[in-house]
Amino acid sequence: MAALDHLGELERTHSCGALRAADAGQTVVLMGWVAVRRDFGPLTFVDLRDRDGITQIVFDAEDAPEAHARAKEVRGEYVIAVRGEVVLRDQSARNLKIGTGEVEVQARELLILNEARTPPFQLDAPPDKLAAEEVRLKYRYLDLRRPFFQNVLRLRARTVGEIHRYMDEQGFTEIETPILIKSTPEGARDYVVPSRLYAGRFYALPQSPQIFKQICMIAGLDKYYQIARCFRDEDLRADRQPEFTQLDVEFSFATREQVYRLIEGLLARVFRLVGAELETPFPRLSYAEAMRRFGSDKPDLRFGMELQDLRPAVEGTAFAPFASALEAGGEVKGLVARGGAHLSRKQLDELQEVVKRYGAGALAWVKLGDEVSSSLLKALGEESVTRLAAQAGAEKGDAVLVVAGRASVVAAALGALRNEVARREKLIKPNTFAPLWVTEFPMFEFHEEDGRYYPMHHPFTSMVDEDIPAFGRAVEGGETHLLSGIRAKAYDAVVNGIEVAGGSIRIHRRDVQRLVFKALGLTEEKARERFGFFLDALEYGTPPHGGIAAGIERTLMALTGIDNIRDLMAFPKTASAADLMIDAPGAIDPHQLEELHINIGVE
């Protein structure tokens, strides 16, 4: 064990990323972590790292024998302070890859401030050689030392700072809403917190501040925003976390156009932080058009490859998979992979796996190479296959990928396939940004499992004015099936295939809210039980209002191209909602359980 020195009153003069050729001759004090130590007899080199960068320190046995001897004791991740002189490196020893690469510090004095155990993984491993994520999550404090995270977390802070400035300039008031509340309406499971004072009662953590922000409008606060933490107990997908942060916004007398302008201005500002110019206004696609053309409600518009309706080419076919799909009211659609004639059997099989994951039975294909080849050749004959390829708009050298089935399955399968083909064929130019609004989402979606309608956004979303009569007929005239066609004043902002923000104009009238609850099969009693306070509030002069929420992590994903959401937050949880560093969730002691009136049925 190294003898440790006291920091005393010694102060840093520079960070480890600061020194340049112009600083040569200065005496400096640097502090940080030992990234690497290299011994060459009378010379020892240490790469000293802090959040700003790395500076090379030289310990010369002749020059400063004491410091040189001491330097032999330091190991990786030891915390040291060095006083020395900035000198220019020899021409041949310059490292232009790092900002400090023209200089080094000739150490005169070394303080060892703390030692470190050997880290369980290599911090400076190249990205493709990094240790398994579980190990890095367990030792998150070590992983966060890597420049990658230092940069990400600072960009995140700058992003949030920019958001605060923008919202303030736009006249919005930041209001904090509570974390211990009752169930909210976003449709995921709640995280609940038992109450000590009220036996058998529970708080819920907010899935979003939705009801509170609407209440802020009723309270005349007019323009609300908050950087809000949200908690959703969902089965996690790659881009989800049980707790995440969003910019939450609501304002009174809102129109959709005002929301679009506000968020376009915001995203343009934030993207400028990385030097990207988003063109405004963003293009818009209705939900129906997005699904039809791209098979997705968050289409990536950085590339084309639109879905093609192949019905005209296969209408009347005897080929059972196509015929039965069309007969049942389904679709036969495809997309053209430009230059895809080179796709091998193995690659086509892999693409088939993608569509199968989304419920499609199979992937049919046509390749227009020197000869026409196709999985459909036997079933349809060459003429029909050629017609189908022409209908899709394919040319020599291309491949057509075809899926048949229910419209929703065809859309989901081809939507995913479109992204996969673009990724594999490298159709996406780096550093391009394609924002858009997806508008007019359906109000309701029907769930086959329990045979009822659910809100597609949440139950406080209002419908487009033109659909009010049909809505009336659906709820009061018993024509329930009409609910599927009712469109909401709901919108998502999408960038590069990532849904960065979503919101809606809300219902501000008690009578309309009552009808929506009815459409959702929520009895008056149940509605009162869950949202009674809110329904009461609606009766005291609620202004028309609307809003939106933009995910901070999602925005950063679009901004940086980093596709792992855990890489964009300091202390994330795993895909199975565990915090490996603090080992949460954890047990609590019997005494605590008792106080909380909880009997978990084990000794």
Q: Which residues bind ligand ASP (CB under 6 A)?
A: 186, 208, 210, 502-504, 547-549
Q: Which is nearer to ligand ASP, 250 or 331 (CB)?
A: 250
At closest approach, how far in Å is the CB of 504 from ligand ASP? 5
At closest approach, how far in Å is the CB of 250 from ligand ASP? 7
* Cα separations in angstroms, 270 against 155, 165, 266, 476: 10, 11, 6, 46
CA-to-CA distance for 465 and 431, rounded, in angstroms? 39
At closest approach, how far in Å is the CB of 324 from ligand ASP? 38
Residue type, 204: A
Q: Which is nearer to ligand ASP, 205 or 351 (CB)?
A: 205
Q: Which is nearer to ligand ASP, 106 or 208 (CB)?
A: 208
Q: Which is nearer to ligand ASP, 32 or 502 (CB)?
A: 502
DSSP symbols for 469-489:
HHHHHHHHSS-GGGGGGPBBS
At closest approach, how far in Å is the CB of 302 from ligand ASP? 25
At closest approach, how far in Å is the CB of 570 from ligand ASP? 22
CA 437 to chain centre: 17
CA-to-CA distance for 122 and 45, rounded, in angstroms? 19
At closest approach, how far in Å is the CB of 138 from ligand ASP? 31
CA-to-CA distance for 419 and 428, rounded, in angstroms? 10
Under a CB-based contact definition with an 8 Å cutoff, are residues 42 and 68 in contact? Answer: yes
Q: Which is nearer to ligand ASP, 549 or 569 (CB)?
A: 549
Q: Which is nearer to ligand ASP, 206 or 334 (CB)?
A: 206
Q: Which is nearer to ligand ASP, 209 or 435 (CB)?
A: 209
Q: Which is nearer to ligand ASP, 405 or 547 (CB)?
A: 547
User: Within 10 A of 161 (CB to CB), how many other CB atoms are there?
Assistant: 11
* 3-state SS assignment for residue 510: helix
Q: Which is nearer to ligand ASP, 314 or 500 (CB)?
A: 500
Q: Is the dihedral of CA 73, 79, 83, 85 positive or negative?
A: positive
Q: At what angle do helices 147-169 and 552-560 cross, to 10 degrees?
A: 120
Q: Which is nearer to ligand ASP, 226 or 504 (CB)?
A: 504
53-60 and 43-50 strand pairing: antiparallel
* Cα separations in angstroms, 371 against 344, 366, 377, 391, 567: 14, 10, 12, 18, 46
At closest approach, how far in Å is the CB of 434 from ligand ASP? 22
Backbone angles phi, psi at 168, to 5 degrees: -65, -45
Closest CA relative to residue 307, chosen from 335, 340, 338: 335
Q: Which is nearer to ligand ASP, 210 or 296 (CB)?
A: 210
Under a CB-based contact definition with an 8 Å cutoff, are residues 203 and 195 in contact? Answer: yes
CA-to-CA distance for 461 and 459, rounded, in angstroms? 6
Under a CB-based contact definition with an 8 Å cutoff, are residues 539 and 526 in contact? Answer: no
Q: Is 200 left (phi over 0), alpha (psi -120 to 50) or beta?
A: left
At closest approach, how far in Å is the CB of 289 from ligand ASP? 22
At closest approach, how far in Å is the CB of 546 from ligand ASP? 8
At closest approach, how far in Å is the CB of 213 from ligand ASP? 7
Residue type, 179: I
Under a CB-based contact definition with an 8 Å cutoff, are residues 33 and 107 in contact? Answer: no
Q: Which residue is nearest to ligand ASP (CB)?
A: 208
Under a CB-based contact definition with an 8 Å cutoff, are residues 522 and 452 in contact? Answer: no
At closest approach, how far in Å is the CB of 206 from ligand ASP? 9
Residues across the chain: 603
